Amino acid sequence: METYLLDWANLLLRWLHVITAIAWIGSSFYFVWLDNSLVPPTDDAAKARGVGGEIWSVHGGGFYNAQKYPVGPQKMPAHLHWFYWESYSTWLSGFGLFTMLYLWNAASFLVDKTVLDWSPTVAGAASLGFLVAGWLVYDAICRFVGQVKKPDGSLATGNDTLVLGLLFVYTVAATWLACQLFAGRAAFLLMGAMLATIMSANVFFWIIPGQRIVVKELEAGQPPTAIYGQRGKQRSVHNTYFTLPVLIAMLSNHYGMLYQHPHNWAVLAALMLVGALIRQFFVARHKGKQMWPLVVAALAILAILIVWLAPAPLTAQQKAAAATRVSFAQVQQVVAQRCMMCHNEQVQQKGVALHKPELILKHAAGIQQMVVLQRLMPLNNATGITEDERALIGRWFAAGASPQ
């Protein structure tokens, strides 16, 4: 019953995480598009009200006129909507899911003794430290490199190109470090979680507090301090470039061919770079620029990855083995040695038991999918299944998964 309830909690928490992430990323994408699509108003009354840009759009049978006030309206409206619950809810639900799946089962999910042999408790603490350190280093780069002092002594954001370059180097370095410390699947997820933590922390520590200060200044009849708007804009731009790298990091940890590669850190770094290039293409397109070289570069990186990760051609010995018939007894022996530890009568991970021949036959398609095609099981290859054994299961299934 406990496993059953945990599976429901896992499903519902994951669903909540996806729902809130869609809301957050959707609003982020919309406002980046809006900012880059505004045109100066032609109406004198709008100009007099302080409108700096506007756009007319049609959606769902209605017409909309979005207007942006670079400084602020002459009178603060009674109802002002704040965009922050999407960010906080996404991070909290994601952290809850990470706690349930990875911290609660650190020995299975975080630790791969072939990568680093350390205790589950230390690995769990290190994973939390990884998230905290990720934010602290990023914030330090923005504070000390992305902020300059003007001749009049006031602060302003700047050095954007240098900041983005440092963030790229830092992200690659963090990816390498994660893959040296944690199991490949966990390392991929942790990189996505680290970037997502940075994004949510930007909202919590800088964007929303800065906006609240500006609102108070406007309500008091004071000119808003420019740095708060500039800093909020800077962090929002960073967030939009992080979105697609976060998504690919979260998705790619479901594919063993990626996170089990000897140079898995380079694989993930390349995929995240593709995400950033795609996002830049759309940002530029919103501004009326067609930067197709970015698409070409992204496709070229993907093509290189596909060729690089392709399985090696079969050797003569492997071809000969592939031609031989695989008996059910051979498959049962592999399952007993490599899978029964977590899928037996007493322990039925994910509700799957494989301690009887009829159960192996019942779950034959799932075994093929998880062990042979996606290479997700055994988790972190804790039982040391060999490539020949994976191939053996694959040949048995391809021949019809016979019980003989």
Q: How sure is the predictor about 365, in pLDDT bands with cuts at 50, 70 and 90?
A: confident
Q: Are 185 and 177 in contact (CB under 8 A)?
A: no
Give the dihedral of Cα atoms 205, 209, 210, 212; nearest 10 deg. Answer: 170
Q: Is residue 353 predicted with pLDDT exceeding 90?
A: no
Residue 3 lies in a domain: no
Q: Is residue 322 predicted with pLDDT exceeding 80?
A: no
Mean pLDDT, range 291-316, rounded to an integer: 91
Q: How sure is the predictor about 78, in pLDDT bands with cuts at 50, 70 and 90?
A: confident
pLDDT above 90 covers a percentage of the chain that reads 54
Q: Are residues 178 and 305 in the same domain?
A: yes
Most confident of 118-127, 156-165, 352-361, 370-379: 118-127
Q: Are residues 179 and 100 in the same domain?
A: yes
At a CB cut-off of 8 Å and minimum separation 6, what does 293 contact?
none
Q: Are residues 250 and 205 in the same domain?
A: yes
Residue 331 lies in a domain: yes
Q: Are 61 and 130 in contact (CB under 8 A)?
A: no
Q: Are 64 and 57 in contact (CB under 8 A)?
A: yes
Residue 88 lies in a domain: yes
Give the C-alpha separation, 374 to 350, whole Å: 17
**Eight-state DSSP code of residue 111:** -
For residue 191 the two structure tokens come to: 């990189």
From the centroid of its chain, how far is CA 346? 35
Q: Is residue 1 predicted with pLDDT exceeding 70?
A: no
Total domains, the chain: 2
In total, the chain counts a number of residues equal to 404
Q: Are residues 273 and 326 in the same domain?
A: no
Q: Are residues 305 and 331 in the same domain?
A: no
pLDDT above 70 covers a percentage of the chain that reads 99
Complete DSSP assignment for 39-50: B----HHHHHTT
Give the C-alpha separation, 236 to 24, whole Å: 12
Instruction: Give pLDDT, residue 316.
Output: 76
Q: Are residues 175 and 275 in the same domain?
A: yes
Closest listed residue to residue 131, CA positions, set 104, 103, 107, 112: 103
Mean pLDDT, range 310-319, rounded to an integer: 77
Instruction: Give pLDDT, residue 216.
Output: 92
Residue 381 lies in a domain: yes
Q: Are residues 179 and 328 in the same domain?
A: no
Q: Are 52 and 69 in contact (CB under 8 A)?
A: yes
Q: How sure is the predictor about 115, in pLDDT bands with cuts at 50, 70 and 90?
A: very high
Single-letter amino acid code for the residue at 354: L
Q: Are residues 143 and 203 in the same domain?
A: yes
- What is the tens place of the pLDDT at every residue in 383-403? 888 888 888 888 888 888 888
- HSE-up of 379 (CA within 13 Å, CB side)? 17
Give the C-alpha separation, 221 to 72, whole Å: 11
Closest listed residue to residue 173, CA positions, set 50, 269, 278: 269
Q: Are residues 335 and 303 in the same domain?
A: no
Q: Are residues 102 and 213 in the same domain?
A: yes
Q: Are residues 192 and 294 in the same domain?
A: yes
Residue 56 lies in a domain: no
Instruction: Give pLDDT, residue 274.
Output: 97
Q: Is residue 202 predicted with pLDDT exceeding 90?
A: yes
Q: Is residue 193 predicted with pLDDT exceeding 70?
A: yes
Give the C-alpha separation, 270 to 272, whole Å: 5
Residue 15 lies in a domain: no
Radius of gyration of the chain (CA): 26
Q: Is residue 297 predicted with pLDDT exceeding 90?
A: yes
Last residue of a domain, one of 309, 328, 359: 309
Mean pLDDT, range 275-301, rounded to an integer: 93
From the centroid of its chain, how far is CA 159? 27
Residue 403 lies in a domain: no
Per-residue exposure over 51-68, b if at least 16 CB sit within 10 Å of its own CB, e if not: bebbeeeeeeeeeeeebe
Give the C-alpha separation, 43 to 51, whole Å: 10
Instruction: Give pLDDT, residue 212.
Output: 94
Give the C-alpha separation, 381 to 191, whole Å: 21
- What is the tens place of the pLDDT at every residue in 135-168? 999 999 999 998 888 887 788 888 999 999 999 9
Q: Are residues 243 and 356 in the same domain?
A: no
Instruction: Give pLDDT, residue 378.
Output: 86
> Which residue range is the domain that position 359 belongs to?
316-398
Last residue of a domain, one of 286, 309, 332: 309
Q: Are 69 and 204 in contact (CB under 8 A)?
A: no
Query: Exposed (0-12), middle (13-18) or buried (19+): which is 394, by Cβ within 10 Å?
Result: middle
- HSE-up of 211 (CA within 13 Å, CB side)? 17
Q: Which residue has the higher pLDDT, 40 or 392?
A: 40
Give the C-alpha separation, 1 to 22, whole Å: 32
Last residue of a domain, one of 309, 337, 353: 309
Residue 39 lies in a domain: no
